[in-house]
Amino acid sequence: MENADQVLEKTDKRLATEVPEGELRAIVEAIVVKVRPGVEAHGGSVELIGVSAGEVRIKLSGACSSCVYSAGTLAAFARLLKREAPAGLKLVMIK
């Protein structure tokens, strides 16, 4: 099984709509794996709810659900998504 860095090394700059759904999900899961330790270090949790139709749906829970800095966490996730994942994905937070 590949680790998160190995999956992300293979990512090219295709549009999200050009990437098979299973491959796209693997890329986004690899990004979640990279973000998760920082979130957990602050008592929170990040869960990938789904990837479809150009949307990435995540849920922050634990300490993150009521933290004033959760918007910053989402912004950091969005930057990583833009840098590492195929273009054209929209990040949606599920409450």
Q: What is the DSSP letter of 86?
A: P
pLDDT score for 49: 95
pLDDT at 13 over 90: no
CATH, domain range 4-93: 3.30.300.130
pTM, 2 dp: 0.80
* DSSP labels, 1-48: ---HHHHHHT----BGGGS-HHHHHHHHHHHHHHHHHHHHTTTEEEEE
Per-domain boundaries in the chain: 4-93
Give residue 60's region: left, alpha or beta (phi > 0; psi -120 to 50): beta
pLDDT score for 33: 93
pLDDT in tens, 23-67: 889 989 999 999 999 899 989 999 999 998 789 999 999 988 888
pLDDT in tens, 57-87: 999 999 888 888 888 888 888 998 888 888 8
